[in-house]
Structure 1
Amino acid sequence: MNKFKIGNYFTIYNITTGFVIAILSSLFIYLEYVNFTYFFINTIIGLMAIYWLLWANRMIWFWSGLFIGLLWFWWISLSFIHYEMPIFMPFVIISIALIYGITFLLLFKIAHFFTNRLEISEIYGKAIILFLFSYIHPIEFDWFKPELMFTNSYLGIEKWQFAIILSALALTQIKKNIIFLTLLILAYPFITPFTLQKLENIKLISTYTTIEDKWNEQKQPTHMKAVFNEINLAIAQKKEVIVFPESVFPLFINLQPQLMDALKKLSKDITIVAGALYWEPTKNIPRNSAFIFKNGDVMVAHKVLLVPFGEQNPLPNFMSKWVNEFFFDGAKDYIASSDISDYEINGTKYRNAICFEATSEKLYENSPKAMIAMSNNGWFVPSIEPTLQQILFQYYSKKYGTTIYHSVNMSKSYIVQNGKVIYP
């Protein structure tokens, strides 16, 4: 019975081993952050992380999950600086870490329960849990995927390839024979099933406007002037499309007829895709949207997946109202669209994606060939968030063959094609 005592979780051995596994599981993000990405290194550290997780006991799994949550997602707390509540940052960081630690522990216990009943090695159960982990989303946030470690490596990121990786490492431990590591050769992405698409004549705009400046009404005329200057420059450069970041217009532009008319007029010379707010007067609700101005007309594509807590409170109504009053000055939640939006520009169909939703599996339904994504990373810089976001784009681009045109605030804009990042 001693092994079930809570004190056993707090041994130096369990904590340090969990921390080392978390470091190995996170190193690919931080190496990319400092522009030190080598496929061989990422392959080795990814395999080591998975191997140790398959070997580890439930106490080490708890600490591994806790430190992974910390190292992958500490940056979420930075948003509280902009709400002038930095005092809550430690609470947010600890909460995120505990959520992932407890999730890892519960999943380990599930694996242990079933492998005990089936009288098979516990390692098989842990391998199945790791395989299924990308479908498990604490607090509706789906950025943790174990196979993400192999995005920039010599191994593939498809589920069947990850299954081979898990099988090779699990069999190596169970059979105590390294010959099973040769199975890893089968996880090498020998060919890509997607044809290389011609890059479109698109200008991606990078802006560097802080959150405080963006919502400062006195500075809005300067921001507007900069937007129109970029449009006119793109027209002079013979660009066919210009894409701006999320909420480049930090106001409900459908309630600004003069601004709308000016953009419609310019859209006769160039297609303009810009992030802005949309007020739905019939329902009295706000939306986070993309406005597509083309040939003197406009189409509005609303966001489908909202950021948990940032745009929509996932808590029950009685708690949600209190949280919104306390943290967000009683602001209303944004409303999500029920339908994914696609639109066509010069014969090419694009999937619309705004920030968080562009890094979610749902937006890649039916494997869109092209996507225009816009983000505002101002809430989370300086941090690894833009780096992790980019790796997720690479992952989905590899998985679905989608060419992603990404316009960003507070980070450099880029294109991702067949998993490779291209800076225009």
Structure 2
Amino acid sequence: MVLCLCDRYWRGYGFVCVCVLLFLLPVYGSLLLAHHPMPLVIFGSFSAPLSVWAYLSVPAKRRFFFGFWVGLGLFYWCALSFRYNDNVFLLPLIMVLIALCYAVVFYGLLYFNSLLYRIATLWLSSYIHPFGFDWFVPDAFFAYSGFKVDRLSFLGVIVAIALFMQRYKNFMFFKPLYAPSKIFAVVLLVLSINWKQSASALDPNALKVVQTNTNQKTKWQPEFLDATIAFNLTTIQQAIQEKKQVVILPETAFPIALNKSNLIPTLLSLSQQITIIAGALYEENDTIYNSTYVFDHGDYHYAHKVILAPFGERMPLPSFLADYLDRFFFGADVFKLGNAPHFSDMKTQHLDFRPLVCYEGTSKPAYENSPPNLVVISNNAWFVPSIEPFLQRMLLKYYARRFDKTIIHSVNFSPSYILTPALLGDRLY
């Protein structure tokens, strides 16, 4: 009786739980190897194909269960920002709602057991962005693997694994094709391996990529502002003493409307000795912008964030509902957050680049028609401790390899780094 119940449970949910764990393995397993480049690539080369196998193997009748736990495992951290407002009690509810959202997505993706259907839905799944949130990119699981990350290679890996899964009896009237199908699967995998490594022309020794550790609870409190500014100026002066050409500080490193402050002359003076790239706010016509400021040779420019994070910076809902939720979560005096209509590329004495702020750095449109270098600035204090910093790094590495870009990422509350198109080309700080 006990064995019968165990067998029934395994057939019902035990196997699906294994599939969930294998699907999440490229993220959680790689997180443990984040500072060990070669083991990270070796692990990713095996765990990423296993995640594909898990997706193809989930029984259709358990698709909602699978999607719920995958959604929770990948994106539970989105709710952690509620720790910093008066609605912290909603944190568990938000996590469940996120999980339910992805349960619905996977309900459709895994609706049929057909391998042809699963191949198509997995390949197309990265185009599904619930409420505009585009961090579900299964292709990115291959960011730290020996496989290519272009769309065609990803399809090749999926088809190869599907062919390996086919049993002899499944070929029915086409049994002579069984052996050739396995050979074809091997050929597809070999063709999907990244045999060529791209190099970056960037000299990392010329840059000081700053990591700050400003707690989110104190970041915006006036009594800590002077200390924050003093730290930033000291960091810039240290970079000058170290003979660096460029210093990069994270998102809202200056937690003020910098264009309205008296710091501009000081930063312009320092920029005669070093190029300064820093995050701060910009205020104009009662609208606040999350911006990147660039000070170079006594002059300065700025670029506003283009792609705002859904729910965190914009409500992807009808205006009447969005306005209500804004007032509920942020109060009646919530400010208007603006965004730029298009990306801006910067040219300085030592670096040509496209500035990106946090969330938009993990969005595909940011990489189209961009220069070879991108500077991303982030504030991960909202979500630490969680998997978010590494998931962000995995997505950035995916785009660096796919579009042949070098990404310089300055972060608050998690490690900063430079990512190159080369598989082993990362530089962690």
TM-score, normalised via structure 1 length: 0.90
Structure 2 residue 204 is the aligned partner of structure 1 residue 204: no
Which residue of 39, 46, 55 corresponds with 1:53?
Answer: 55
1:280 has 2:274 as partner: no
- Cα–Cα, structure 1 residues 188 and 86, in superposed 2: closer, same or farther, change >3 Å? same
Identical-residue share of aligned pairs (%): 33
What letter matches 2:33 in structure 1?
A: N
How far is the alpha carbon of 1:347 from its aligned partner?
5.4
Q: Give 1:326 deviation, angstroms.
A: 0.8
1:253 matched residue in structure 2: 258
Residue 3 of structure 1: aligned partner: none
The answer for the alignment partner of 2:190 in structure 1 is: 185
Counterpart for residue 143 of structure 1: 135
Q: 1:34 to 1:173 in 2, by over 3 A?
A: closer
Amino acid at match of 1:335: G
2:17 corresponds, among 16, 19, 26, to 19
Q: CA shift at 1:223, angstroms?
A: 0.6
Q: Secondary structure at the match of 1:334?
A: strand
Alignment partner, residue 314 of structure 1? 316
Which has the higher relative contact order, 1 or 2, with Cα contacts under 8 A spaced 6 or more apart? 2
Q: CA deviation at 1:64?
A: 2.0
1:131 aligns with 2:133: no
Instruction: Check whether the contact 1:367–1:400 (CA below 8 A) recurs between aligned residues.
Output: no
The counterpart of 1:391, out of the listed 391, 394, 402, is: 394
Looking at structure 2, the residues matched to 358 and 41 of structure 1 have their Cα atoms a distance apart, in angstroms, of: 25
CA positional deviation for 1:220: 0.3
Other-structure match for 2:238: 233
Deviations 1:34-77 (Å, cap 9, x if unpaired)?
A: 22644343333322321232233322322222111111111111
- Alpha carbons 1:245, 1:374 under 8 Å: kept: yes
Residue type of the alignment partner of 1:227: N
Distance in structure 2 (CA, Å) of the matches to 1:252 and 1:16: 53
Q: Which amino acid aligns with 1:28?
A: P
1:84 maps onto 2:86 in alignment: yes
Question: How big is the shift at 1:17?
Answer: 2.8
Listed one character per residue, the Cα deviations across residues 150-202 of structure 1 (whole Å, up to 9, x for unaligned) are: 2212222211111111111222334645444413111101113x443132511
Contact 2:283-2:289 within 8 A present in 1 as well: yes
What's the CA shift string for 1:72-127, capped at 9, x where partnerless? 11111110001132211111111111111110112334xx4xxxxxxxx9211110
Partner of 1:293: 295
Structure 1 counterpart SS, 2:411: strand
Name the residue aligned to 1:30: 28
Return closer, same or farther for 1:38/1:241 CA change in 2, 3 Å cut-off. closer
Cα pair 1:292 1:300 within 8 Å, conserved? yes
Q: Does residue 264 in structure 1 map to residue 268 in structure 2? A: yes
Q: Alignment RMSD, CA only?
A: 1.9
Aligned to 1:324: 326
Q: Contact 1:59–1:105 at 8 Å: present in 2 too? A: no
Confirm or deny: 8 A CA contact 1:368 1:400 kept in the other structure.
no
Alignment: residue pair count = 401
Alignment partner of 1:371 out of 368, 374, 379: 374
* CA–CA distance in structure 1, aligned partners of residues 14 and 62 of structure 2: 9
Q: Which amino acid aligns with 1:144?
A: F
- Relative to structure 2, which stretch is displaced further, 204-213 or 165-174? 165-174
Query: Which position in structure 2 is the counterpart of 1:7?
Result: none
- Report what 2:69 is aligned to: 67
Matched with 1:163 is: 155
Tell me the CA shift for residue 264 of structure 1. Answer: 1.1
Name the residue aligned to 2:174: none
Q: Which TM-score applies when normalising by structure 2?
A: 0.89
Q: Look up the equivalent residue of 1:262 and give its one-letter code.
A: T
Q: CA deviation at 1:132?
A: 0.6
Amino acid across the alignment from 1:65: G
- 8 Å CA contact retained: 1:172, 1:179: no
Q: Distance in 2 between matches of 1:274 and 1:370?
A: 16
User: Deviation at 1:303?
Assistant: 0.3
| AA partner of residue 115 (structure 2) | I
1:243-289: CA deviation from partner (whole Å, max 9, x where unpaired): 10000111111111x211111111111111110011112xx211100
- State the one-letter code of the partner of 1:34: L
Unaligned runs of 5+ in 2: 1-7, 169-177
Query: How far apart, CA to CA, are the structure 2 residues paired with 1:271 and 1:347?
Result: 8
3-state SS, counterpart of residue 382 of structure 1:
coil
Between the aligned partners of 1:17 and 1:365, the Cα distance in structure 2 is: 41
Contact 2:123 2:154 in 1 (8 A): yes
